[in-house]
Amino acid sequence: MTTLSQNLLDLSDFAWQRLRNRVEGLTDEEYLWEPFDGCWSIRTSDSGLVLERTKIPPEPEPFTTLAWRITHIIDILQEDRTATWFGSQVDPADGPPPVPGSAADALTALDHAYDVWRRRLAALSQDVLDRPMGEPAGMYAEHDGTSFALHILDELIHHGAEVGTVRDFYRDTHTEDPFAAALAGEVRPTEQPALLAEAAVAQRWEVVLRLAGMGFGINERTKDGATAAHLAAGSGALDALRFLVEHGADLTATDPKFHADALGWAKWGEQAEAVAYLESL
């Protein structure tokens, strides 16, 4: 039987890996981006960089930048209480949580903070998780170790989700249409042969049709090995699927992940009309 400690550790690792994947490729511009006036972020003070906040936050609370949110996660994971409230000593090598001034420093600090938290969590016995935390936890003295561990995990999960949302917001307000240059005739099929397949990934079916007419390969594959026919069948884009078939789509091609052809994708996607169409051919 899996122990409570292992379940907590597994959940923590899952949430952490999801967050770490979402911050990959973070740039300084994005890290410090302030989409609105009055954002809270990291600021320079006489003592160095600090996290902007007040004892009593205003209502509604200001929008917080990625720099603020990531620094807050670092602080939550690495602060002394994730050791002392469980009755453990703080390892001096762990150091105090920093306020990173750049994206690269933030990712390094985030990795270290999670290593600190994970080591502390992994060391907890069932007895520590079951018993009240006592005086070190102050007003939460009567709460047991499990409730505090779950609180830290909740912080990691929900702030991690916020980070992902802000990254999506930044991407959608700073990214040019990846197909615009090709549609304007500025990109040749030999330069970006998989562009039609990438348009299918984005479910930009009108773009798929136009790119096909411009000579982009119908049977080219995405980086994951899917063709436009796989994607059209799996998403139930029947008009696009018919177009692809009529223009030479290879319906026998299988992808490397599911080892399925277009019909297999249609069945997996529960696209009854696409299944019926493909089975009629």
Q: Indicate whether 36 and 13 sit together in one domain.
A: yes
pLDDT in tens, 16-33: 999 999 999 999 999 999
The pLDDT of residue 191 is above 90: yes
Biggest CA-to-CA distance, the chain: 74
pLDDT of residue 176: 80
Return the exposure string of 195-232: e unless at least 16 CB atoms fall within 10 Å of the residue's CB, then b: bbbbbbeeebbebbbbbbeeebbbbbbbeeebbbbbbb
The pLDDT of residue 93 is above 90: yes
Domain final residue pick, 107, 141, 174: 174
Is the CB of residue 52 less than 8 Å from the CB of residue 43? yes
pLDDT of residue 155: 97
pTM equals 0.71
Q: Indicate whether 67 and 198 sit together in one domain.
A: no
pLDDT in tens, 195-213: 999 999 999 999 999 999 9
Q: Number of structural domains, the chain?
A: 2
- CATH number of the domain that 14 lies in? 1.20.120
Domain final residue pick, 174, 193, 221: 174
Domain carrying residue 59: 4-174
Domain final residue pick, 174, 205, 225: 174
pLDDT of residue 178: 84
Q: Indicate whether 158 and 26 sit together in one domain.
A: yes
Q: Indicate whether 168 and 232 sit together in one domain.
A: no
Q: What is the arithmetic mean of pLDDT over 68-94?
A: 96
pLDDT in tens, 225-281: 999 999 999 999 999 999 999 999 999 999 999 999 999 999 999 999 999 999 999
Q: Could you write out the three-class secondary structure of 185-206? A: CCCCCCCCCCHHHHHHHCCCHH
CA–CA distance, 146 with 133 (Å, rounded to integer): 10
Q: Indicate whether 26 and 128 sit together in one domain.
A: yes
Q: Indicate whether 46 and 143 sit together in one domain.
A: yes
